[in-house]
Amino acid sequence: MPEWIVPALLTIITASTPLVFAAIGEIVVEKSGVLNLGIEGMMIVGAIFAFGVGVTTGSATLAILAGAIGGAAMAFLFGFLTLYLLSNQVATGLALTIFGLGFSALLGHGFVGKTFPGLPRLEIPFLSDIPFIGPLLFGHDILVYASVVAVALVTYMLTKTRTGLLIRAVGENHFAAHSIGYSVNKIRMACVLFGGAMAGLGGSYLSLAYTPLWVENMTAGRGWIALALVVFASWKAWRAFFGAYLFGGITIIQLHAQGFGVEIAPQFLAMLPYLATIVVLVLISSDSSRARLNAPACLGRSFHASG
Amino acid sequence: MTEEIPRLELEGITKAYPGVIANNNVSMKIMPGEIHALLGENGAGKSTLVKFIYGVQKADSGTLKWEGEEMIIPNPNAARKLGVGMVFQHFSLFDAMTVEENIAIGISKELASGDLNQRIRDVSQQYGLPLDPDRYVHTLSVGEKQRIEVVRCLLQDPKLLIMDEPTSVLTPQEVDELFVTLRALSEEGVSILYISHKLQEIKDLCHFATIMRMGEVVDDCIPAEESPRSMAEMMMGANLVSPEKPGKTEPGAPHLVVRDLSLASSHQHGVDLKNVSLEVRKGEVLGIAGIAGNGQMELMQVLSGEKLIDDPSAVSIGNEAVGKSGPKIRRNAGMGFVPEERLGHGAVPEMSLWENAFLSGSKSMNLMDKGFINIKGSVDYALNIVSEFNVKTPGVQHTANSLSGGNLQKFIFGREILQCPGVIVALQPTWGVDAGSAAFIRQSLLDLAANGAAVLVISQDLEELFEVSDRLSVICEGELSPPRPAEEFTVEEIGLLMAGLSHDHQDEKVAHA
């Protein structure tokens, strides 16, 4: 087995983890009927919050927490505007991204050029030493494990619990949920905040572990890929997980392919993840009936209890 | 019964919205085991009152007594705890979920845990409401969907069941089954507050009726001692003029013809049209009955040109094959449409009445002048509609969505009829329209036919179809039964055809024709 395989697979894991966080969060948001296009903005604010707190305090725990809070704060802004002031969800989401990119650049001005030691790895004696499997499954940082746990928890929550039932109900038919007596906007706000915190964690992973530096615009479109992943996964958390690894894999493969001197212009290779997004979206939407059954019927529609 | 404490007593309930008083000093009593009808035209304040009882809305003033005790019901959860159950007119169901999930979400957490699946089966068996908890709601018929709502209420041992227009979507047979269940519940001491426009049903079912008009209680009666007509007049506060068929004239040549039309629906939950053929002759009204969701929408789309057919001769107006032509060409060929959805389909909600008049009449009424809108002509046309069709509106500058359902429908009808169409197709022409406006609309359909137009009415309302139709046909799962003269049908027969239970009978009729 060539010895570059394990490091390559490891980089796939690190490339995929931010996508897993952001996509899982957005699935919960969209299941509740809210379309938040501001993932990119929430991620980048999460990234600078985490990096800033990490560098200032030196504590990884506080840094991760700050990242989640940063994302959730942005999400609160979005939720307040769209749910309570009934602004347009698409426009507000786009504005959130633009705002997030600018705001994070402002906050991050003083952090350019500083470094963060990275997240501690959770080594497990013996297990981590097993060749091949050991380094792949063990010895990652806490966020990688957290992302896997999040997938399992969100899947369980959405399909098996009453909370999940409520979230789906609100996204499916908000008028019915209201007339039965649930507070549509409160449930949606909770989901939006959760989505923001998850996007913030995804951003934290980028600035704390993936490249432990602050670079302006370092999310580089990952928020949009996460958005496509949600549709790709037809709103199912475990599918989003595999989707994220598929996209992470393609990103890394194109890097390695360039390294091996494959004779394709690097620009084409760099296009691969985005091309794959388009292909996947086309394939999924060709079977329209199946995509629609999982899509929340009230997605993107504001709710106002009138009459 | 006089000694008993009323289950629910309302006193002086008043609720005002900006500009309207929805409920003014409303008082009523519902006794245990009583089936109590709440009657009134659209906008009489019934829904507001019911929402107040169910805790969805608060009143400005007035008191509510539950079993003799004064209280406030702050939200639907509290109402359910007391034992108030509600079956909504527009079902509060979630299509992409199973029956069990739908029920679980509408009852308290404690009730929803445990062997809910089994309890649903038990209750549905006990009251004769067959229901499979594991099926997805979008695969169910409307009647079955309603059973979910009823079972959901029954699981909570209700003491008061509120039903808002429960029968408007059912076949006559399903209505009978529902009434058996309701009577059984009443015997067990459950009170039922029953809201309906169908006065014959109220006469058959209800023990007592409270009648509302303009937000006030104006009368009450014992329905068994009244006639549907007298109750309608109490609701309207005026004499009901029922539509009259003008003297029978011999219908002319077929004017709207559909030939062997088959169309697979593009909608996930849509219905495919199978081999539909029909002919509407000049001067006659053809009625198409059927339960909602059996292909009516699809048929309407094909007739109006929103859906095009590859074979142009599948639909023809006069001698012109229009199957492949859009709505504009069909309008020019003299076709008028009244779609089901008034706002957004029949009229642009945010545009003024005169603009809406212009949109459909620009060509036939010559409202376009070298590419410019003839504003004066359009306004005059709209004013003409308003005065001839009795539309109650402050002015034609007002937007379409400011009109009540009945008034807007009269406006849309007026707009189409004043263009003197050779063919008019109407889907659910009086759905949710009050009795007075409905009678007016039906009369104008009859008059139009008397003047030689071919009229096609697709409706769920059997009373309406019997009133206006010369011939009747039934649509079920996208298939059309052969039309027969309306007076040859009985309500039972139509009901069976609507439920798709009478295929051999149909075949026999085909052989006749």
Helix, strand, coil distribution of chain A in percent, nearest 5: 75, 0, 25
Q: Chain B contacts of A297, Cβ < 8 Å?
A: 95-96
For residue B99, with 0-12 CB atoms within 10 Å meaning exposed, 13-18 middle and 19 or more buried, which class applies? Answer: buried
pLDDT beyond 70 at A8: yes
Mean of pLDDT values over B49-57: 87
Residues 6+ apart with CB under 8 A from A296: A30, A31, A32, A33, A168, A171, A172, A235
What CATH architecture applies to the domain A5-294? Orthogonal Bundle (1.10)
Candidate from A172-186, A225-239, B260-274, B472-486 with smallest mean pLDDT? B260-274
Domain B247-334+425-513 CATH class label: alpha beta
- Strand B320-321: give its sheet, edge to edge: B273-281, B254-263, B315-317, B320-321
What are the tens digits of pLDDT across the range B92-139?
888 888 999 999 988 878 777 888 888 888 888 887 778 888 888 887
Nearest CA among B56, A227, A274, A116 for reference residue B48: B56
Residue limits of CATH 3.40.50.300 in chain B: 8-236, 247-334+425-513
What pLDDT, on a 0 to 100 scale, did the predictor assign at position A247?
85
pTM tops 0.80: no
Q: Chain B contacts of A288, Cβ < 8 Å?
A: 268
pLDDT beyond 50 at B513: no
Residues from A contacting B (CB-CB < 8 Å) are 162, 165-166, 168-169, 172-173, 175-177, 179-181, 288-289, 292-294, 297, 307
Q: A5 or A84, which is more confident?
A: A84
Are the Cβ atoms of A181 and B77 closer than 8 angstroms? Answer: yes
Q: Rounded distance, CA B443 to CA B328, Å?
A: 27
Q: A271 or A203, which is more confident?
A: A203
What pLDDT, on a 0 to 100 scale, did the predictor assign at position A293?
57
Are the Cβ atoms of B268 and A176 closer than 8 angstroms? Answer: no
What pLDDT, on a 0 to 100 scale, did the predictor assign at position B269?
62
Q: Rounded distance, CA B111 to CA B105, Å?
A: 10
What pLDDT, on a 0 to 100 scale, did the predictor assign at position B76?
84
Mean of pLDDT values over A66-90: 95
What pLDDT, on a 0 to 100 scale, did the predictor assign at position B1?
45
What pLDDT, on a 0 to 100 scale, did the predictor assign at position A180?
83
Q: Domain-by-domain residue ranges, chain A?
A: 5-294
ipTM at complex level: 0.79
What is the 3-class SS of A54-76, one letter each residue? HHHHCCHHHHHHHHHHHHHHHHH
Q: Rounded distance, CA B118 to CA B100, Å?
A: 10
Give the distance from residue B452's alpha carbon to the nearest chain A alpha carbon, in angstroms: 43
**Closest Cβ opposite residue B95 in set A162, A172, A289:** A172
Mean of pLDDT values over B166-191: 84
pLDDT beyond 90 at A203: yes
What pLDDT, on a 0 to 100 scale, did the predictor assign at position A165?
93
Supply the Cα-derived Rg of chain B in whole angstroms.
24
B182 in contact with chain A, both atoms CB, cutoff 8 A: no
Give the distance from residue A237's alpha carbon to the nearest chain B alpha carbon, in angstroms: 17
Q: B425 or B241, which is more confident?
A: B425
**C-beta atoms surrounding B290 within 10 Å:** 27
* Beta strand B471-476 pairing with B479-480: antiparallel
Give the distance from residue A179's alpha carbon to the nearest chain B alpha carbon, in angstroms: 7
Mean of pLDDT values over B357-369: 88
Pick the CATH number of B8-236 from 3.30.420.40, 3.40.50.1950, 3.40.190.10, 3.40.50.300: 3.40.50.300
Give the distance from residue A148's alpha carbon to the nearest chain B alpha carbon, in angstroms: 27
Q: Rounded distance, CA B138 to CA B159, Å?
A: 30
B101 in contact with chain A, both atoms CB, cutoff 8 A: yes
What pLDDT, on a 0 to 100 scale, did the predictor assign at position B343?
79
Mean of pLDDT values over B446-452: 90
Are the Cβ atoms of A179 and B95 closer than 8 angstroms? Answer: no
Report the Cα B511 to chain-centroid distance in Å: 34
Report the C-alpha dihedral over residues B31, B37, B39, B42, rounded to 10 degrees: 110
Q: Rounded distance, CA A216 to CA A221, Å?
A: 12
Give the distance from residue A31's alpha carbon to the nearest chain B alpha carbon, in angstroms: 12
The mean of the pLDDT values for chain B is: 85
Mean of pLDDT values over B207-212: 91
**pLDDT band (50, 70, 90) for residue B320:** confident
The H or E element spanning position B26 is strand B20-30
What pLDDT, on a 0 to 100 scale, did the predictor assign at position B502?
56
| % of chain B residues with pLDDT over 70 | 93
What are the tens digits of pLDDT across the range A79-138?
999 999 999 999 999 999 999 999 999 999 999 888 888 888 887 777 777 777 777 888
What is the DSSP-derived secondary structure letter of residue A115?
A: B
What pLDDT, on a 0 to 100 scale, did the predictor assign at position B510?
42
pLDDT beyond 50 at B222: yes
Q: Search chain B and give the residue with CA nearest A181.
A: B76
Candidate from A40-49, A155-164, B188-197, B268-277 with smallest mean pLDDT? B268-277
Are the Cβ atoms of B90 and A175 closer than 8 angstroms? Answer: yes
What are the tens digits of pLDDT across the range A133-158?
777 888 888 999 999 999 999 999 99
